[in-house]
Amino acid sequence: MSERRRPIFYDTETTGLRADKDRIIEIAAYDPVENRSFVELVNPGIPIPPECTALSKITDDMVQRAASFKEIAEQFLAFCPKKTVLIAHNNDAFDKLFLQAEYKRTGVALPSFDYVDTLKWAKKYRPDLPRHSLQSLREVYGVPANQAHRALDDVIVLHRVFMAMIDDIPIDTVLELLVRPQILNRMPFGKHQGKPLAEIPKSYVAWLKENGALDKAENQQLRASFEQLGLL
């Protein structure tokens, strides 16, 4: 039997927003299968800006004697099983980029993990919500407050929030659903704009296809929706 994918929730605190110049100052992870956690302060080798300290409460003094990322890189990988799915909020635009940049600097190979961005999931499958920040989702799903912007606290909250969002959907299905185009309910443009897709005449759909409208990158979601409805 092949090894199953293991969800590992993680979070990073950093000196700023740019993975190419800023550094990780704390990394934490939680394995819900074995109920174990990993958390380390990291000496970034550069000063922590006051605005970052204001958010994370992590100071230069706190990381002065901490290990560098190179010194903890192998420890983090040892925490992650071979078929890990790394899950974080705003993963694709933030945590994953910082993780990849730090491993590139150290020269330690980062395995080809799968990644789940819970912010993208929330935006895709909870479009009814006005905000999709972790703290906003925490309130929606009734998860108790935490010490926001400390890595392990955010990881534990994220785990509880995401489990509530996906219910009993297996992690393999979560990965499939994230890359699957979201199905539209109404026509986004043209003379039938606002009309339910199921009511769009097949002749109009055929005309869109013949004229190349459904080949455009921005209309792939519409094309997939027509295909699911059997209109293509």
Q: What tens digit of pLDDT does each residue of 4-31 get?
A: 899 999 999 999 999 999 999 999 999 9
Q: With 0-12 CB in 10 A as exposed, 13-18 as middle and 19+ as buried, what is 13?
A: buried
Question: Which among 162, 179, 196 is the end of a domain?
Answer: 179
Looking at the fold, whether 196 and 131 belong to one and the same domain comes out as: no
Looking at the fold, whether 199 and 130 belong to one and the same domain comes out as: no
Q: What is the pLDDT of residue 1?
A: 41
| Domain carrying residue 222 | 182-232
Q: What is the pLDDT of residue 4?
A: 81
Q: Is residue 1 part of a domain?
A: no
Looking at the fold, whether 205 and 158 belong to one and the same domain comes out as: no
Q: How many domains are there within the chain?
A: 2
89-98, 174-183, 209-218: segment of lowest average pLDDT: 174-183
* Average pLDDT score over residue span 133-137: 95
Q: Is the pLDDT of residue 2 over 60?
A: no
Q: Is the pLDDT of residue 162 over 60?
A: yes
Structure tokens at 181: 């185009």
* Average pLDDT score over residue span 72-94: 96
Looking at the fold, whether 142 and 173 belong to one and the same domain comes out as: yes
Looking at the fold, whether 145 and 170 belong to one and the same domain comes out as: yes
Q: What tens digit of pLDDT does each residue of 28-71 get?
A: 999 999 999 999 999 999 999 999 999 999 999 999 999 999 99
Looking at the fold, whether 87 and 76 belong to one and the same domain comes out as: yes
Catalytic residues: 149
Q: Is the pLDDT of residue 207 over 50?
A: yes
Beta bridge partners of 196: 186
Looking at the fold, whether 44 and 159 belong to one and the same domain comes out as: yes
